[in-house]
Each structure stands twice: as structure tokens, then as C-alpha cells.
Structure 1
């Protein structure tokens, strides 16, 4: 099978970054529970996240210890583009809404090949215009990025990002930038690497990881869990360094010396050379390319992350990349051999890409979140009887299929059951793992309730988990010729507990009438 898709070695790395960590319940330490207001898109630039990371074309290990993502600046934007922009639940006329143009183009279940496209305007990104344009009633259509006129005359860059992995511990990265505009245009491209901040909270006994620039190999990476890794950039204009730590004035109102999360923004947009670490070390790094593309010009940039030192890291790069693309074609060719229409094959393949790219490392320990961290100010005491206070057993740190990594970057259990059915067509092991995950002790409530979603784990959603598990079992048996009754038995015993919860809590007057709950069709990503 495709790279032995059940192998945990191949799935150690994948597209596991969120596209929005800001504005989530996990990052909300307010006394009011207004998650959208506590950590905004603007603050995300300079404040280290507690429970996860986000990025453009994000890639990480399965514990999100080391993250990779793209940074872009067109020399006109007021901020460095490091994450997707969108409207909050309050700002959007139809609630939260990402205001970017990007596409998941291809992916394999083993993550040995991934491809996506981000379209970056050459004019200043219209942040305020998008906010103002959506101050209309719910009866009005949404005001999108294309409506602002920034793509007129094709004045934009196509930024294709591809990952190819010849081995589980060797990742080739190729960025292809195309100037579609009628005139030359400047673009600063950053291939960024950074560690998720695990050291600022006062409750971690791991050594602080570090990155160090080394002339002979490019970048040497040291992490207690990952060991030694090496990053290479082909002919970058510079390697720049900072730390993935909060700028203190946002948190404490002071300005001590240091290197902060927003250093690359300060360095490029504001010309502040003191923002970056001159010693070539830190917990966040970027290989920087200053490009000037002629009208219609295409430029390729190449990078490599590997566990082995390489004297010639880009030797055979193109050939290896093409071999992995061909392998992906063979995998889908076999899977789709009974689909005659090329258009239908492309639609299905890109739909699978959307599923695979929507995997995310989800980290949330409710008990720690309510109590706060030793190294931080104590949260409001109201949290002890506020959101999710009855779910202190919930300790999540897993790769989970998201409804949408920007609009819904948190699992929704009833959505997940539907995700697992198409996943079973390409990766039955992952589908079964996801169905079992929601039934583990660190998810399932002791009373038998399956957690709904982080805004309110106690909400009641449609009871579709048993249906999803049965469909996955049937599809697995048909696809692989083996009836995994062990999986079915595991699911069955936990679902008996869930059924008992339904019987005890959701029947009215013993008349077997469902009492009601919450059903959000808008949670489903398309």
C-alpha cells in the first residue's frame, strides 16, 4: 500500500498545523469567555500561543514540537503575512469567515506528498476594507477578498508549496512562485521554522530547544524529543533568528531586551534590524529570499529538513521530487481505476487532499486550562464554574480531523463520524483510530457523553458515532478483505456506555422522545 499508510513512522510528520490558533477557546484566558476578543489576529503576531500553532502551508511533527510554515511580504502590506486572515464571529455578517484565497491541491495518506496553493495579492492586503465591507445584515452576501479588487489585472502571486518525503525523516520542500501581473513585482519569501512554545508556562521539565545557524550545513536543530535535525535552504539571502515568545509590552506593559515572536515583521516591515538575533540562534528561524519577479516569471525555491547531515543536500532533489509525485499518481491511479471521467477523478483526488490537509494536532488539558500556569498570572476564579468545568478529565493531545482548520480549528465529534467514512476509502487505519479516539478515557465523559466541541463539550449532538463506526467497519472489510471485529468490539463496549447516557439523560417522561440538543450544519467543511 501507499508507503504503508498504517505506519506511524510516515505519519510522524504531516500537515498538522492549524490555520487559526487565535480566537479559539483554548487560547482564551479572559474572565468573560469572549474567545474572539481575547486573542485577535493582530495580537497573534506578537503573542506566543499556549496550546498550539498556526501557519500558511503548515507542517509539523505529530506533537507539534517543530513547525514549518511560509511567511510573505509584498513590500506594501502593513504586516508580514504569516497566518490566514479572516473575520471573527462578531465581525462577519454570517459569523466567522476566512478572507483568503487558497487551495489544497494534492496529498497522500502517508503525507509523503503534499501540495497547496496560496494566492497573494501584490497590492496592500485590504484588512480594514474586508472588515468594513461585511458590516451588513445577514440577508446580504459576504464581502470576499475578490470583491475588493486586489486581483484586478491579475496582480497577484501564485505561491505553490509542495512537500515530498523520500524517507519518513527526510522532507524536501519546494516553493514555486509565479508573478501573474503585467509588471515586475517584489516579494520577500520566508521559509520559517519554529518550536511550539513549551517553556514559558512554568510547568515543563524539558530542556528548552534551540536552533543554531551553522555555515557548513545551514541550520542545526536540537530538541529533546526529536533529537538532532538539519535544515538546508538553497541560496537564501539570509538566515534570520528570534524566539517564539510573547513581546512583553502586550502582556506586562514593559519593554525589556529580547527577541520576540514578531521580530521578522519588525525587521522587514519596519526596518528594525535590532529585532532579530545577531548571534544566529533562537527558537524561531527563517530562510529569507528577496525576490523581484518579472511579469509572468516563475521562480522555484528549495529547502530540506532531514535527520542526517548532507554535504550536497540538493543533489538529485528534482529527480526525487518527481519520483514521489509519480508515486502519488500511481496510488490514486489504482484507487480510481473504476472511475472513467478525468474530471471526476480530479474532483475526488482534490477532495481527499482537503481531508488530509485538514488533519491537525489538537492540544487541550481542561484542568490545566482552568487552573492556569505557574509561570503566568492566575486566571479568573469564575473559570472554575464556567466553560467546560465539568470536563476536567479531558486531556487531548492528538492528531484529529478538523471540520475546517480556519473556521472550525477544533474537533466536532459528530462531524468527525462523517469525515471517517471517506477517510476509510484511503486510510482505514486512520478512520478507525479517529472513531476510537473519541471513546478514550481522556475524551469520553465518565457518564458516557461524547465531547461535542471546545466551545461547550457538554452540548448534545446527533448520535451518529455508532453509524460511523459501523460504516468504517464495513468499508474496511470490503477494501481489505478482513473483518476487524476487535475494532468493532472496542467501539461497541464504549458506545454501550454512551447509550446509557442517552437513556438516562435525554428521554422525557420515559416516552423515548428526544429532548433536544444542538445541530450546526455550518460546522461541516466542504
Structure 2
């Protein structure tokens, strides 16, 4: 057993606390809902980037390359100054949603290079220009651009031209659970000597300014303090965390202040203390000598290293943050750092598949690193936030999240992206858990359990969606993720965690009931669903009532519910191996599946969502006057019924006689429900039985669209909207004469629907691609080698469905691998990104251009794009 695995086991058994410290800091706290105390709900305006350096945060902290303890009491991060900027670079800059022509967007270059699951070793790199950071240029140029224009990125400003930049690499290694070794290396990539101020910072999260007893449990009565003890050491005392010591090398200028708001600068109100949060900016950049505390005490400390770095050279500083004072803190420092790096190499070498080449090993490892760096302490007590702090009451009981006042979040969560999405989204989290389970099963299970806890899950059974609107509806993928993580652990260790499976299953019974009661308004097993996370995929905002009135019957909403029922059926049967009583509930989910399948496909008397003429599933709009209109948009909405499939292995028929008897009773007495969609009497390979919305004929018809390169099949995966709509956009005119349309948009969104922040009208998205690949493997497990399809459509080349799944996997992986010209598609035409990728530095974007594969949206959406790591891990593929 390697050293990192031993640490994981010790932590899981609570014999050691190796995850006490990690990269749990956000990269953007400003402009978030939690920090919004406005009355109009305009979070970006209430707390803009310009306030961030001067204003104490209420709910969380942000930092550049930051680390903190799991309660985020004590934080460490990096400050930089190139001698040109108007203030220190302490956090990442980007545009707010109203400022960006395609929504909010970070405008920086940085890479997560490596991390172990316990963060015993972690590394990241930040690229900092030697010229003034182009804040105003980025803001004004993007403001002039519209939805039809490309975004203006930092690389477009030419601020990195002629290699006039510093690459700042920050490495962390844990000598022990509470002993952090830190190296910060600044590389001057330019041809001339350049100045750089490095300002490592240590501070306490402000828990003392809000009118409550300090601490998440309200049990702190003493304010924390950082003080200079002697020589190159600081002492940080916290009433709950205890004492930590920061040691450093060299002779930096020691700076001290408090993590308190500069109310004088922001609001014209005199400061309660002369030493406030932005003191280091004023001292270093503006030359205000008295901005810092001469007594060398406070709640925020900085070490100012003014450096001169020769061309193509580097300088490194070393620091140590530890729970125990050390008289020789740098004795054995470098060997310890190298040892942790070597242990990380061993951990990944043993984990990764033997058949991976060096390029794919690096891509996979960096995908894992991005996911591990994207952990964040998520602190949000909704009741407190809605009512305001003592002495600062608010009255927004009818506003955002007003029906979610039970939520009290205080956990280290897996974030989609710590800048654009510094808040969890529940269906994102579900996808995150699969690749996370490869490296840290305990953490993956913890994420799935948390969302179903009573302080997250609503008492009515709904799971929270995302911070801006917890009551919105994300796709019900929690059961699937739970079963997959359970199966992965069972496959690896030989034993599944039934307690985990049963715990989540019991809560998901409530969630399934909520869906049935809330999203099937007509009681016909066709579901409206609503938003479902696919933003602008529809003609209109699906979170609202259709502009025509009436009901939108959603093909994807109904497919998700069939998928949900099939996953719950599998979970129930797995639990029945240990407790036969679960056969009863398995039968119930089998019945739900049949009803949804029957409704989806329809009959001659009752219309479903299948269009026999086109051979595709479409949404249907039921109008108030009784008319119905299919919305003939070929999108993922019509492909989603493919994922609602499941295999019943032959042993189910031997081991669960009660379930089989009840199942046969349903089929016999309700034959119209079973039909040919879920014929339990038909067997396939290895006597398997198939639950599917599509019989063989309909499956082949849908696959023709899926595998057509002029429709869904792109060089790098399945598009979210058919390319057919590039020449043939779909339009619908309401009775009031308002025309709605959907056309093929392979890149950034061209409308302001959902702020233009993401686009489901053409780009490739990893989560749905992954589910489609899984469904193809299940279909192959049933139909076997004799079932072949033309792939690509019209090519004359025949493939089994397993080979099709392999092809789709390879096309997704090819986004990150060098093509015959040496380019990696995710980089697009950005030469800075191409050059960095040649050095093995990748970014895992939110989604990808439907034709070119260029990365778009959030640049570090490592969460579900991290599924690429799982696609490379063949031994973790499950039915």
C-alpha cells in the first residue's frame, strides 16, 4: 500500500486528519449571492471586484493559490505586484454577468498542475503580466461586443507578448497533518530583468463583525490574533483552531493589519480601526507607510519580498505553516517536499491504467488535480442571510431562496469552478463524484450523502439546485451517481457499502415522490421538469410558464424520470440481496418505469412524444385551448430517452422470486404498459433482460441522427443541437404573433437567455455525452455483437454499439490530445494556450465548440469535464 493510500485510510478511520488543510478557498467571493445584502438582489452591483480588496467578506474568503483549514478560520494566499498595477493582485479578475457579452467570465491564465486526494502534495501555476494588468481594456472591449461576437480574452490584449510575464508556481506539501511546507517560485519568462513583489499573506476569516458569537457553532468569545514573536516567525492564535506558526526565509518586510472593512474608502464612514483589510495595497503600491500596524499585530499578516529576477531565471521563497513551533523549520524542508511529490507519483502510477501513454497519463492526472483543487468550504446559513445580521436586519422573506430557510451549509464541497461557479450545483456534484471516486471514494460518497441531509434537502423532498435559485430543478441524477459510486467501490474492493447505498436510497424515495407530485401536473407520467440545467436549449425559459400559456411536455424531463426510476430499481434490487423486503419497492419502480415508457411512446389513442414520421422524440406544447404542437427541434431533448435504459441480469430472476412474480403480474394484467418497450420475456446476451424506452426499430432510427456528422456527431463528441438547424432553424409563432426560434450555435450563446452564460444549442457537453456512452454500452450488453449500425451514418462502416461507445469516448478524449499537426482542439486558435498545453498544462472547460472543439464557458469547469479522466480509466466502466 502506497503512502497516500495509507493517509486516505487513516483519515477515513479517523485515526488522522490529513484533510484538515486543503485548497478550500474560493477564487471569487465578491459578486456572489452569499455576499449580497442588497434589497434588490443585484449581487454583482452590491459587491463588485473593486470592493474586494477593501471589504471583509461575510461568508467565505477568496485567494490566489490559497490554502486554509477545513473551517476556514486561518487562510494563506498569495499577493503579487509588478510595479505597474493600481493594487496588489490577490484574487482572480473577471467580468460580471452584465459586463460580459456572454455572461460572467474569468479573465486570467492559471492551471491546476497536481494534487493528491489528501492534498499532501498540491501544485498550481498562475501567469502574471509584467505590464499593468489590463483591467479597463478587458472591461471596455467586452462591453462593446454583442452576443454575435467572440469574447475578448486576456491573451487578446497582448499583455503576454514577447514572454513578458512571470509564471508563479505554488507548491504545498504536508510534513504532517497540520504542518504545511510552501514554496513559491517566480519564473521570469521574458528577455529582460524584471521587478516583482511577492507578498505571501496569512489571515483569519472575519467572524467577529456580524453580531453573532464567533464560529459556526457560535461558541467563540475571544477574537483571534496574529502577532510577531521573534525573528522570522509569526504566531496565529485562534480560540477553536488553536495556535499556528508561520516561518519564512529571507528578509521580507513584515506587514500587519486587520481583516476589517475599509468603510472610509467604500462608504465614507470613519473606520473603527486605523488598520484595515486593504492596508498592504496602500502601503506597497501607494507608499502609505502608516497604513500598516507598527505594533506588528492584527488579524492579517503579509511578507513583502521585493525581487529583481533576471531574464529566463527564477527565484524561490520557502515558508512553513505548522501547528507546533519549530526552532529549525527549514531543516529537511526540500527532502520532505520531494518525498511528498514522489509519493504522489507512486499513487497515480498505481492508480492509472497500464495501457495509458504518457500524454494521457498527464491529462488524466491533471483532470484529477483540477477536481481536487476545486474543493471549497461552502458556508451559507440561508435563514441568517435572508433576515440579516443583528443590527442590520433585512426584509426579503419573499425573495431569493425564501422557501429554503432550513439550509445551513458548512462543508467542504466539490465546486464546478471556484471562480465562475463558487457555489455547488446539485447535478454537477453528482457527475463530479464519479472521477472523484477513482481517487477518493470516501469523499465522493460524502458529497452524495450531504445533499440528502436534512440541512440541505427540503422537507418536501426536493434537492437544492444552485445558490442563485435553490428551488429551480436540476436533472435527477443523484440515484445514478450513487449507484455508480457504490458499484465502483464494490468492483475495486470486492465489497459495496450497503449502509451508504441504503442511506441515500431512503432519501431519494422522498425526492422521487416530489418529482411525481410536482412535475407531472396532468397525471399522465409525462413530466414538465422545467429548467433542468440545459439553460437555453428550448425556445423559451423553461423555468417559467410558456409564453403561449399551457404546459410544456418535456422529452428530456420525462426521460430523466425514466432514468431515475431505472436507477432506483437497480438500487432496490442491490439492497434486496441483503434485505428481501426491498423487492417490494423494486416492483414499484418497475411499474413507474413502465408507465413513463408507455406515456413517452404513446399510442394511437394517447399521444406521446415520439414522432413516427421523423423517428425522433420532441417536446410537445399543450395549449390552453386544447390544441397541441410538437416542437420539432432536434436537440439533446430528443436523445435523452436513450439514457433511460437498464439491464436486468439473469441472476435477478433466480435470486428475487417475489420481484419476478410481481413483475410478471404487471406485464400480464397491464400488457398495454409493457408493449415492446420493456418486454421482460425477451432475453439478450447472457440471458439479460433490457428495460428501454426504445425497441430495436426506434433505437436504430434515433442512432441514425446521433451518428450523423451533419446532425449530432461532431469530431469531438455529440453536439447538444443538431447541425441540421444551421440551415433549417426551427421557428414557432405564438397566437400573439411573437416568433420564437432555435438555430445551431456551435460556440458561445447568441441570446441573453439565462444571461448568455452557457449554450446548449450546439456545443459538446461532457455530462450528457458520458450518459449516452454508458447507455450504448448497456444496449450492447443486451444486443451483443450481432447488432451493428452504420457509423458514421452514410460511411458504409458498420460498428457494434460497444465500438460506437469507444469511438465517442475517443472523440471526447481527443479534445485534449495533440492532433497530427500537434494542436490540441480545446485550445482553439489561442497560441498561449497551445504553448502551455505543449508543456502539459491543460484547462478543462465547461463545454466545447460543436465543430472545432475549442473550450468555451467557464475555463476551469473541472467538475463534469473531469469525466475525461474516467473515460481513460477502462477498469472503472460499469453497466
Provide, for residues 79-110 of structure 1, a one-character-per-residue CA deviation record: whole Å limited to 9, x for no partner. 11010000000111110000000000000001
Is 1:483 the counterpart of 2:483? The answer is no
Distance 1:63 1:134, change over 3 A: same
Deviation of 1:138 (Å): 1.3
Is 1:438 the counterpart of 2:451? The answer is yes
- Specify the SS of the correspondent of 1:57: coil
Provide, for residues 246-285 of structure 1, a one-character-per-residue CA deviation record: whole Å limited to 9, x for no partner. 0122565223452111000111110001110100111000
Contact 1:339-1:345 within 8 A present in 2 as well:
no
Distance 2:152 2:232 in 1: 47
Equivalent in the alignment of 2:166? 157
Distance 1:344 1:134 in 2: 35
Contact 1:189-1:291 within 8 A present in 2 as well:
yes
- Specify the SS of the correspondent of 1:201: coil
Instruction: Select which of 203, 225, 235 maps to 1:194.
Output: 203
Q: Which has the higher strand share?
A: 1
Distance 1:109 1:339 in 2: 23
Is 1:346 the counterpart of 2:359? The answer is no
Distance 2:252 2:339 in 1: 29
Highest RCO, 1 vs 2 (Cα 8 Å, sep ≥ 6): 1
Instruction: Select which of 4, 10, 24 maps to 2:32.
Output: 24
Instruction: Select which of 53, 60, 72 maps to 1:64.
Output: 72
Is 1:40 the counterpart of 2:18? The answer is no
Distance 1:160 1:288 in 2: 17
Contact 1:94-1:138 within 8 A present in 2 as well:
yes
Is 1:146 the counterpart of 2:155? The answer is yes
Equivalent in the alignment of 1:285? 301
Deviation of 1:190 (Å): 0.8
Contact 1:56-1:70 within 8 A present in 2 as well:
yes
Contact 2:28-2:92 within 8 A present in 1 as well:
yes
Contact 1:217-1:230 within 8 A present in 2 as well:
no
Contact 2:232-2:248 within 8 A present in 1 as well:
no
Provide, for residues 365-399 of structure 1, a one-character-per-residue CA deviation record: whole Å limited to 9, x for no partner. 0100011111x5322x2x11100010110000000
Equivalent in the alignment of 1:415? 428
Contact 2:473-2:533 within 8 A present in 1 as well:
no
Instruction: Select which of 234, 247, 256 maps to 1:241.
Output: 256
Contact 1:414-1:465 within 8 A present in 2 as well:
yes
- Specify the SS of the correspondent of 1:52: coil
Distance 1:519 1:339 in 2: 37
Distance 1:491 1:337 in 2: 30
Distance 1:124 1:217, change over 3 A: closer
Equivalent in the alignment of 2:89? 81
Q: Bigger shift: 255-264 or 183-192?
A: 255-264
Distance 1:215 1:514 in 2: 67
Equivalent in the alignment of 2:281? 265
Contact 1:47-1:250 within 8 A present in 2 as well:
no
Q: How does 1:89-168 map to 2 (within 5 A)?
A: 89-135=97-143, 136-168=145-177
Unaligned runs of 5+ in 1: none
Distance 2:27 2:43 in 1: 16
Q: How does 1:496-515 map to 2 (within 5 A)?
A: 496-515=509-528
Deviation of 1:314 (Å): 0.6
Is 1:11 the counterpart of 2:19? The answer is yes
Instruction: Say how many residue pairs are matched.
Output: 523
Unaligned runs of 5+ in 2: 215-219, 535-757, 759-845, 848-860, 866-879
Is 1:390 the counterpart of 2:420? The answer is no
Instruction: Select which of 298, 301, 318 maps to 2:314.
Output: 298
Is 1:314 the counterpart of 2:330? The answer is yes
Distance 2:401 2:265 in 1: 27
Equivalent in the alignment of 2:472? 459
Distance 2:266 2:159 in 1: 35
Distance 2:206 2:369 in 1: 29
- Specify the SS of the correspondent of 1:348: helix
Contact 1:217-1:310 within 8 A present in 2 as well:
no
Distance 1:217 1:76, change over 3 A: closer
Equivalent in the alignment of 1:180? 189
Deviation of 1:195 (Å): 0.5
- Specify the SS of the correspondent of 2:206: coil
- Specify the SS of the correspondent of 2:294: coil
Deviation of 1:516 (Å): 2.7
Across the aligned residues of Structure 1 and Structure 2, the Cα RMSD in angstroms comes to: 1.2
Deviation of 1:363 (Å): 0.4
Is 1:363 the counterpart of 2:372? The answer is no
Distance 2:288 2:118 in 1: 41
Provide, for residues 49-70 of structure 1, a one-character-per-residue CA deviation record: whole Å limited to 9, x for no partner. 0000000001000010001100
Distance 2:163 2:76 in 1: 29
Instruction: Select which of 479, 494, 510 maps to 2:507.
Output: 494
Equivalent in the alignment of 1:470? 483
Provide, for residues 208-234 of structure 1, a one-character-per-residue CA deviation record: whole Å limited to 9, x for no partner. 100001114610110111111111011
Query: What TM-score do you get using the length of structure 1 for normalisation?
Result: 0.98
- Specify the SS of the correspondent of 1:11: coil
Distance 2:251 2:141 in 1: 39
Distance 1:246 1:22 in 2: 13
- Specify the SS of the correspondent of 1:123: coil
Contact 2:182-2:318 within 8 A present in 1 as well:
yes
Q: Which has the higher helix share?
A: 2
